[in-house]
Structure 1
Protein backbone atom coordinates (compact mmCIF):
# COMPACT_ATOMS: atom_id res chain seq x y z
CA UNK A 1 0.00 0.00 0.00
CA UNK A 2 2.79 2.42 0.91
CA UNK A 3 4.43 1.81 -2.46
CA UNK A 4 1.35 2.87 -4.40
CA UNK A 5 0.84 5.93 -2.17
CA UNK A 6 4.44 6.96 -2.87
CA UNK A 7 3.88 6.52 -6.60
CA UNK A 8 0.70 8.62 -6.51
CA UNK A 9 2.43 11.28 -4.42
CA UNK A 10 5.43 11.52 -6.75
CA UNK A 11 3.85 11.14 -10.16
CA UNK A 12 0.65 12.97 -9.24
CA UNK A 13 2.69 16.09 -8.57
CA UNK A 14 5.08 15.66 -11.52
CA UNK A 15 2.54 14.81 -14.20
CA UNK A 16 -0.06 17.13 -12.72
CA UNK A 17 2.31 20.07 -13.05
CA UNK A 18 3.24 19.20 -16.63
CA UNK A 19 -0.39 18.83 -17.70
CA UNK A 20 -1.59 21.95 -15.90
CA UNK A 21 1.26 24.46 -16.23
CA UNK A 22 2.85 25.65 -19.48
CA UNK A 23 6.24 24.01 -20.14
CA UNK A 24 8.22 27.24 -19.92
CA UNK A 25 7.12 27.85 -16.33
CA UNK A 26 9.90 27.50 -13.76
CA UNK A 27 8.38 24.53 -11.91
CA UNK A 28 8.40 22.47 -15.11
CA UNK A 29 11.96 23.08 -16.25
CA UNK A 30 13.52 20.61 -13.81
CA UNK A 31 10.76 18.12 -14.60
CA UNK A 32 11.61 18.23 -18.29
CA UNK A 33 15.20 17.37 -17.39
CA UNK A 34 13.96 14.45 -15.28
CA UNK A 35 12.15 13.01 -18.29
CA UNK A 36 14.89 13.81 -20.76
CA UNK A 37 17.35 11.64 -18.83
CA UNK A 38 14.87 8.83 -18.17
CA UNK A 39 15.09 9.03 -14.37
CA UNK A 40 11.34 8.34 -14.08
CA UNK A 41 11.90 4.72 -15.17
CA UNK A 42 13.39 3.75 -11.80
CA UNK A 43 9.94 4.14 -10.21
CA UNK A 44 8.12 2.28 -13.00
CA UNK A 45 9.54 -1.23 -12.79
CA UNK A 46 6.02 -2.62 -13.35
CA UNK A 47 6.34 -1.57 -17.00
CA UNK A 48 7.93 -3.79 -19.61
CA UNK A 49 11.23 -2.68 -21.09
CA UNK A 50 9.53 -2.18 -24.46
CA UNK A 51 6.87 0.08 -22.93
CA UNK A 52 9.46 2.15 -21.08
CA UNK A 53 11.45 2.56 -24.28
CA UNK A 54 8.34 3.62 -26.21
CA UNK A 55 7.47 6.27 -23.62
CA UNK A 56 11.06 7.48 -23.31
CA UNK A 57 11.36 7.80 -27.09
CA UNK A 58 8.29 10.07 -27.21
CA UNK A 59 9.49 12.19 -24.29
CA UNK A 60 13.06 12.57 -25.58
CA UNK A 61 11.93 13.32 -29.12
CA UNK A 62 9.42 15.90 -27.88
CA UNK A 63 11.93 17.69 -25.65
CA UNK A 64 14.50 17.69 -28.44
CA UNK A 65 12.11 19.73 -30.60
CA UNK A 66 12.77 22.65 -28.28
CA UNK A 67 10.97 24.93 -25.86
CA UNK A 68 9.06 26.85 -28.52
CA UNK A 69 7.52 23.66 -29.93
CA UNK A 70 6.61 22.40 -26.46
CA UNK A 71 4.86 25.70 -25.75
CA UNK A 72 3.03 25.49 -29.08
CA UNK A 73 1.92 21.91 -28.40
CA UNK A 74 0.68 22.81 -24.91
CA UNK A 75 -1.28 25.73 -26.33
CA UNK A 76 -2.82 23.63 -29.11
CA UNK A 77 -3.78 20.76 -26.81
CA UNK A 78 -5.00 22.45 -23.65
CA UNK A 79 -5.59 26.19 -24.22
CA UNK A 80 -6.84 26.95 -27.74
CA UNK A 81 -8.11 29.10 -29.41
CA UNK A 82 -8.88 26.27 -31.85
CA UNK A 83 -10.96 23.23 -30.95
CA UNK A 84 -9.09 21.04 -28.46
CA UNK A 85 -8.50 17.46 -29.63
CA UNK A 86 -8.38 16.14 -26.05
CA UNK A 87 -10.00 18.59 -23.61
CA UNK A 88 -8.50 18.07 -20.12
CA UNK A 89 -11.74 18.58 -18.12
CA UNK A 90 -13.81 15.70 -16.84
CA UNK A 91 -17.24 17.18 -17.43
CA UNK A 92 -16.56 17.45 -21.17
CA UNK A 93 -16.70 13.65 -21.23
CA UNK A 94 -19.25 13.00 -18.49
CA UNK A 95 -21.87 15.69 -19.14
CA UNK A 96 -24.25 15.09 -22.04
CA UNK A 97 -23.89 18.74 -23.03
CA UNK A 98 -20.09 18.14 -23.26
CA UNK A 99 -19.39 21.39 -21.44
CA UNK A 100 -16.98 22.52 -18.74
CA UNK A 101 -18.61 23.33 -15.40
CA UNK A 102 -20.93 20.37 -15.93
CA UNK A 103 -22.76 18.21 -13.38
CA UNK A 104 -19.77 15.94 -12.70
CA UNK A 105 -17.77 19.00 -11.63
CA UNK A 106 -20.49 19.85 -9.10
CA UNK A 107 -20.18 16.32 -7.71
CA UNK A 108 -16.40 16.77 -7.43
CA UNK A 109 -16.91 20.08 -5.62
CA UNK A 110 -19.30 18.39 -3.18
CA UNK A 111 -16.62 15.76 -2.52
CA UNK A 112 -14.00 18.47 -1.95
CA UNK A 113 -16.26 20.41 0.38
CA UNK A 114 -17.20 17.32 2.39
CA UNK A 115 -13.57 16.42 3.01
CA UNK A 116 -12.25 19.98 3.35
CA UNK A 117 -10.05 19.88 0.24
CA UNK A 118 -9.13 23.37 -0.97
CA UNK A 119 -7.40 24.35 -4.19
CA UNK A 120 -5.84 27.79 -4.41
CA UNK A 121 -6.60 28.81 -7.98
CA UNK A 122 -5.75 32.15 -9.53
CA UNK A 123 -9.16 32.43 -11.17
CA UNK A 124 -12.57 30.77 -11.25
CA UNK A 125 -11.84 27.66 -13.28
CA UNK A 126 -13.08 24.07 -13.20
CA UNK A 127 -11.27 21.86 -10.71
CA UNK A 128 -11.81 18.75 -12.85
CA UNK A 129 -8.76 19.53 -15.02
CA UNK A 130 -6.68 16.37 -15.45
CA UNK A 131 -3.52 18.07 -14.17
CA UNK A 132 -5.24 19.55 -11.13
CA UNK A 133 -6.84 16.21 -10.31
CA UNK A 134 -3.49 14.41 -10.46
CA UNK A 135 -2.09 16.97 -8.01
CA UNK A 136 -5.18 16.48 -5.84
CA UNK A 137 -4.57 12.72 -5.87
CA UNK A 138 -1.00 13.38 -4.70
CA UNK A 139 -2.26 15.61 -1.88
CA UNK A 140 -4.77 12.99 -0.77
CA UNK A 141 -2.09 10.26 -0.83
CA UNK A 142 0.04 12.43 1.47
CA UNK A 143 -2.63 13.92 3.74
CA UNK A 144 -5.96 12.07 3.55
CA UNK A 145 -5.31 8.60 2.08
CA UNK A 146 -8.64 7.36 3.44
CA UNK A 147 -10.41 9.50 0.81
CA UNK A 148 -8.08 8.57 -2.07
CA UNK A 149 -9.95 5.49 -3.30
CA UNK A 150 -13.27 7.33 -3.55
CA UNK A 151 -11.62 10.21 -5.39
CA UNK A 152 -9.95 7.97 -7.96
CA UNK A 153 -12.90 5.60 -8.34
CA UNK A 154 -15.71 8.14 -8.58
CA UNK A 155 -14.12 11.29 -9.94
CA UNK A 156 -10.92 10.68 -11.94
CA UNK A 157 -10.84 7.16 -13.37
CA UNK A 158 -14.40 7.47 -14.69
CA UNK A 159 -13.19 9.67 -17.57
CA UNK A 160 -9.38 9.80 -17.60
CA UNK A 161 -9.13 6.76 -19.89
CA UNK A 162 -11.05 8.52 -22.65
CA UNK A 163 -9.06 11.73 -22.29
CA UNK A 164 -5.77 9.82 -22.49
CA UNK A 165 -6.99 7.78 -25.45
CA UNK A 166 -7.66 10.99 -27.40
CA UNK A 167 -4.38 12.54 -26.28
CA UNK A 168 -2.29 9.52 -27.26
CA UNK A 169 -3.93 9.53 -30.70
CA UNK A 170 -2.32 12.96 -31.30
CA UNK A 171 0.83 11.47 -32.83
CA UNK A 172 2.47 14.79 -33.77
CA UNK A 173 2.41 16.22 -30.21
CA UNK A 174 5.22 13.85 -29.27
CA UNK A 175 6.07 14.93 -25.73
CA UNK A 176 2.47 15.04 -24.56
CA UNK A 177 1.80 11.72 -26.24
CA UNK A 178 4.61 10.31 -24.08
CA UNK A 179 3.08 11.88 -20.97
CA UNK A 180 -0.26 10.36 -21.97
CA UNK A 181 1.22 6.88 -22.35
CA UNK A 182 2.95 7.15 -18.97
CA UNK A 183 -0.18 8.50 -17.27
CA UNK A 184 -2.28 5.70 -18.77
CA UNK A 185 0.15 3.07 -17.47
CA UNK A 186 0.35 4.64 -14.01
CA UNK A 187 -3.43 5.05 -13.61
CA UNK A 188 -3.95 1.43 -14.66
CA UNK A 189 -1.33 0.35 -12.13
CA UNK A 190 -2.85 2.43 -9.32
CA UNK A 191 -6.28 1.02 -10.05
CA UNK A 192 -4.91 -2.51 -9.97
CA UNK A 193 -2.84 -1.98 -6.81
CA UNK A 194 -5.73 -0.37 -4.93
CA UNK A 195 -8.21 -2.95 -6.32
CA UNK A 196 -10.63 -0.26 -7.46
CA UNK A 197 -13.91 -1.07 -9.19
CA UNK A 198 -14.59 1.94 -11.41
CA UNK A 199 -18.27 2.53 -12.28
CA UNK A 200 -19.22 2.13 -15.91
CA UNK A 201 -20.28 5.51 -17.24
CA UNK A 202 -21.26 6.89 -20.62
CA UNK A 203 -18.76 9.16 -22.38
CA UNK A 204 -20.24 11.93 -24.47
CA UNK A 205 -17.06 12.65 -26.36
Structure 2
Protein backbone atom coordinates (compact mmCIF):
# COMPACT_ATOMS: atom_id res chain seq x y z
CA UNK A 1 0.00 0.00 0.00
CA UNK A 2 1.39 3.40 -0.97
CA UNK A 3 2.78 5.41 1.92
CA UNK A 4 1.27 8.60 0.52
CA UNK A 5 -2.21 7.05 0.57
CA UNK A 6 -1.74 5.85 4.14
CA UNK A 7 -0.66 9.35 5.14
CA UNK A 8 -3.73 10.76 3.41
CA UNK A 9 -6.06 8.39 5.27
CA UNK A 10 -4.33 9.25 8.52
CA UNK A 11 -4.62 13.01 8.01
CA UNK A 12 -8.12 13.28 6.60
CA UNK A 13 -9.52 10.45 8.69
CA UNK A 14 -8.50 12.27 11.86
CA UNK A 15 -9.66 15.68 10.65
CA UNK A 16 -13.06 14.58 9.38
CA UNK A 17 -13.55 12.06 12.17
CA UNK A 18 -13.01 14.63 14.90
CA UNK A 19 -15.31 17.12 13.15
CA UNK A 20 -18.11 14.53 13.05
CA UNK A 21 -17.56 13.13 16.53
CA UNK A 22 -16.75 16.03 18.85
CA UNK A 23 -18.94 19.00 19.70
CA UNK A 24 -17.85 22.32 18.10
CA UNK A 25 -16.63 23.72 21.45
CA UNK A 26 -14.36 20.72 22.11
CA UNK A 27 -10.61 21.29 22.12
CA UNK A 28 -10.26 18.65 19.40
CA UNK A 29 -12.39 20.69 16.99
CA UNK A 30 -10.97 24.18 17.50
CA UNK A 31 -7.98 23.69 15.13
CA UNK A 32 -10.32 22.13 12.57
CA UNK A 33 -12.62 25.14 12.61
CA UNK A 34 -9.55 27.39 12.37
CA UNK A 35 -8.45 25.38 9.32
CA UNK A 36 -11.78 25.89 7.55
CA UNK A 37 -11.84 29.59 8.47
CA UNK A 38 -8.73 30.17 6.37
CA UNK A 39 -9.69 31.59 2.94
CA UNK A 40 -7.25 29.27 1.16
CA UNK A 41 -8.05 26.02 2.98
CA UNK A 42 -8.95 24.29 -0.28
CA UNK A 43 -5.30 24.51 -1.35
CA UNK A 44 -4.43 22.19 1.54
CA UNK A 45 -7.32 19.83 0.73
CA UNK A 46 -5.31 18.75 -2.28
CA UNK A 47 -6.74 15.24 -2.53
CA UNK A 48 -10.00 16.60 -3.96
CA UNK A 49 -11.17 19.36 -6.23
CA UNK A 50 -13.42 21.16 -3.76
CA UNK A 51 -16.50 22.61 -5.46
CA UNK A 52 -17.65 26.19 -5.01
CA UNK A 53 -20.83 24.76 -3.50
CA UNK A 54 -18.88 23.13 -0.66
CA UNK A 55 -16.79 26.25 -0.11
CA UNK A 56 -19.95 28.34 0.10
CA UNK A 57 -21.59 25.94 2.54
CA UNK A 58 -18.50 26.03 4.78
CA UNK A 59 -18.51 29.84 4.83
CA UNK A 60 -22.24 29.98 5.54
CA UNK A 61 -22.02 27.27 8.19
CA UNK A 62 -19.18 28.94 10.09
CA UNK A 63 -21.29 32.11 10.40
CA UNK A 64 -24.05 30.22 12.20
CA UNK A 65 -24.45 28.57 15.60
CA UNK A 66 -22.55 25.30 15.24
CA UNK A 67 -23.51 24.19 18.74
CA UNK A 68 -27.17 24.31 17.81
CA UNK A 69 -26.48 22.38 14.61
CA UNK A 70 -24.49 19.72 16.46
CA UNK A 71 -27.20 19.36 19.10
CA UNK A 72 -29.89 18.84 16.45
CA UNK A 73 -27.89 16.47 14.23
CA UNK A 74 -25.96 14.39 16.77
CA UNK A 75 -27.55 14.66 20.23
CA UNK A 76 -31.30 15.30 20.18
CA UNK A 77 -33.60 15.21 22.17
CA UNK A 78 -35.69 14.78 19.03
CA UNK A 79 -35.17 11.85 16.66
CA UNK A 80 -31.98 12.40 14.67
CA UNK A 81 -32.53 12.96 10.94
CA UNK A 82 -29.28 11.15 10.14
CA UNK A 83 -28.15 8.93 13.05
CA UNK A 84 -24.35 8.53 12.93
CA UNK A 85 -24.23 4.86 14.05
CA UNK A 86 -23.82 2.03 11.59
CA UNK A 87 -26.18 -0.45 13.21
CA UNK A 88 -29.11 1.96 12.78
CA UNK A 89 -28.77 1.36 9.05
CA UNK A 90 -27.71 -2.29 9.08
CA UNK A 91 -29.95 -3.74 11.80
CA UNK A 92 -33.48 -4.74 10.83
CA UNK A 93 -34.80 -3.12 14.02
CA UNK A 94 -32.88 0.08 13.32
CA UNK A 95 -31.27 0.17 16.76
CA UNK A 96 -27.88 1.11 18.11
CA UNK A 97 -25.87 -1.76 19.61
CA UNK A 98 -27.13 -3.99 16.78
CA UNK A 99 -25.50 -7.04 15.17
CA UNK A 100 -23.21 -5.01 12.93
CA UNK A 101 -21.72 -3.35 16.01
CA UNK A 102 -21.10 -6.77 17.53
CA UNK A 103 -19.29 -7.75 14.32
CA UNK A 104 -17.16 -4.62 14.56
CA UNK A 105 -16.35 -5.39 18.18
CA UNK A 106 -15.34 -8.92 17.18
CA UNK A 107 -13.02 -7.46 14.54
CA UNK A 108 -11.47 -5.10 17.10
CA UNK A 109 -11.11 -7.79 19.76
CA UNK A 110 -9.58 -10.29 17.34
CA UNK A 111 -6.92 -7.75 16.37
CA UNK A 112 -6.42 -6.54 19.97
CA UNK A 113 -7.58 -2.98 19.24
CA UNK A 114 -9.23 -1.20 22.16
CA UNK A 115 -11.18 2.06 22.29
CA UNK A 116 -10.80 4.52 25.12
CA UNK A 117 -14.26 6.05 25.40
CA UNK A 118 -15.63 8.11 28.28
CA UNK A 119 -19.10 6.60 28.04
CA UNK A 120 -20.55 3.22 27.24
CA UNK A 121 -21.29 4.24 23.68
CA UNK A 122 -21.31 2.26 20.44
CA UNK A 123 -18.02 2.20 18.57
CA UNK A 124 -19.72 2.37 15.16
CA UNK A 125 -20.19 6.16 15.29
CA UNK A 126 -19.18 7.54 11.89
CA UNK A 127 -16.68 9.99 13.39
CA UNK A 128 -15.06 7.32 15.56
CA UNK A 129 -14.79 4.99 12.59
CA UNK A 130 -13.02 7.62 10.49
CA UNK A 131 -10.54 8.11 13.31
CA UNK A 132 -10.16 4.34 13.55
CA UNK A 133 -9.36 4.25 9.82
CA UNK A 134 -6.63 6.81 10.51
CA UNK A 135 -5.30 4.70 13.38
CA UNK A 136 -5.20 1.59 11.20
CA UNK A 137 -3.41 3.48 8.43
CA UNK A 138 -0.78 4.52 10.96
CA UNK A 139 -0.42 1.27 12.90
CA UNK A 140 -2.04 -1.70 11.10
CA UNK A 141 -2.24 -1.01 7.35
CA UNK A 142 -3.03 -4.65 6.43
CA UNK A 143 -6.34 -4.35 8.34
CA UNK A 144 -7.47 -1.20 6.57
CA UNK A 145 -9.11 -2.80 3.54
CA UNK A 146 -11.22 -5.20 5.59
CA UNK A 147 -12.27 -2.47 8.00
CA UNK A 148 -13.33 -0.05 5.30
CA UNK A 149 -15.04 -2.57 3.02
CA UNK A 150 -16.78 -4.67 5.66
CA UNK A 151 -17.52 -2.25 8.47
CA UNK A 152 -17.68 1.35 7.23
CA UNK A 153 -18.45 1.67 3.53
CA UNK A 154 -21.40 -0.71 3.75
CA UNK A 155 -23.55 2.01 5.34
CA UNK A 156 -21.65 5.31 5.32
CA UNK A 157 -22.97 6.38 1.91
CA UNK A 158 -26.56 6.28 3.14
CA UNK A 159 -25.70 8.15 6.33
CA UNK A 160 -23.86 10.88 4.44
CA UNK A 161 -26.70 11.16 1.94
CA UNK A 162 -29.19 11.78 4.75
CA UNK A 163 -26.87 14.28 6.41
CA UNK A 164 -26.33 16.15 3.14
CA UNK A 165 -30.10 16.65 2.93
CA UNK A 166 -30.06 18.74 6.13
CA UNK A 167 -29.85 22.05 4.31
CA UNK A 168 -30.52 24.13 7.45
CA UNK A 169 -27.10 23.10 8.76
CA UNK A 170 -24.65 24.04 5.99
CA UNK A 171 -21.39 23.30 7.83
CA UNK A 172 -22.29 19.67 8.44
CA UNK A 173 -23.88 19.46 5.01
CA UNK A 174 -20.50 20.47 3.56
CA UNK A 175 -18.67 17.98 5.79
CA UNK A 176 -20.94 15.21 4.53
CA UNK A 177 -20.11 16.08 0.92
CA UNK A 178 -16.38 16.20 1.67
CA UNK A 179 -16.58 12.86 3.46
CA UNK A 180 -18.54 11.28 0.59
CA UNK A 181 -15.90 12.28 -1.93
CA UNK A 182 -13.02 11.34 0.34
CA UNK A 183 -14.38 7.84 1.06
CA UNK A 184 -15.12 7.30 -2.62
CA UNK A 185 -11.52 8.21 -3.40
CA UNK A 186 -10.20 5.74 -0.83
CA UNK A 187 -12.45 2.99 -2.16
CA UNK A 188 -11.16 3.59 -5.69
CA UNK A 189 -7.50 3.90 -4.68
CA UNK A 190 -7.65 0.72 -2.59
CA UNK A 191 -9.79 -1.05 -5.23
CA UNK A 192 -12.23 -2.18 -2.56
CA UNK A 193 -15.23 -4.36 -3.31
CA UNK A 194 -17.93 -3.40 -0.84
CA UNK A 195 -20.71 -5.94 -0.26
CA UNK A 196 -24.23 -4.72 -1.00
CA UNK A 197 -26.06 -5.11 2.30
CA UNK A 198 -29.70 -4.44 3.06
CA UNK A 199 -30.13 -1.02 4.61
CA UNK A 200 -33.09 -0.32 6.83
CA UNK A 201 -33.07 3.47 6.82
Determine if contact 1:108/1:155 at 8 Å carries over to the other structure.
Answer: yes
Matches within 5 A, 1:36-185: 36-37=37-38, 40-48=41-49, 51-65=50-64, 69-185=65-181
Q: Give distance in 2, aligned partners of 1:113 and 1:145.
A: 17
Contact between 2:48 and 2:182, CA under 8 Å: does it hold in 1? Answer: no
TM-score, reference length from structure 1? 0.94
C-alpha deviation, 1:46, in angstroms: 4.8
In 2, the alpha carbon distance for the partners of 1:198 and 1:38 equals 36
Name structure 1 gaps, 5 residues minimum.
none
Extract structure 1 runs of 4+ deviating beyond 6 A.
none
Q: Distance in 2 between matches of 1:17 and 1:97?
A: 28
Report the alpha carbon displacement of residue 53 of structure 1 after superposing the two structures with TM.
2.0
Question: 1 or 2, which has the higher helix percentage?
Answer: 1
Mapped contact 1:38–1:56 kept (Cα < 8 A) = no
Spell out, residue by residue over 1:138-187, the C-alpha distance to the aligned partner (whole angstroms, 9 max, x if none). Answer: 00000000000000000000000000000001111100001000000000
Conserved 8 A contact 2:84-2:126: yes
Instruction: Write the distance in 1 (CA, Å) between the matches of 2:45 and 2:162.
Output: 23
Q: CA RMSD in A?
A: 1.2
Would you say how many aligned residue pairs link Structure 1 and Structure 2?
Answer: 200
Contact 1:18–1:28 (Cα < 8 Å) also in 2: yes
Q: List gaps (5 residues or longer) in structure 2.
A: none
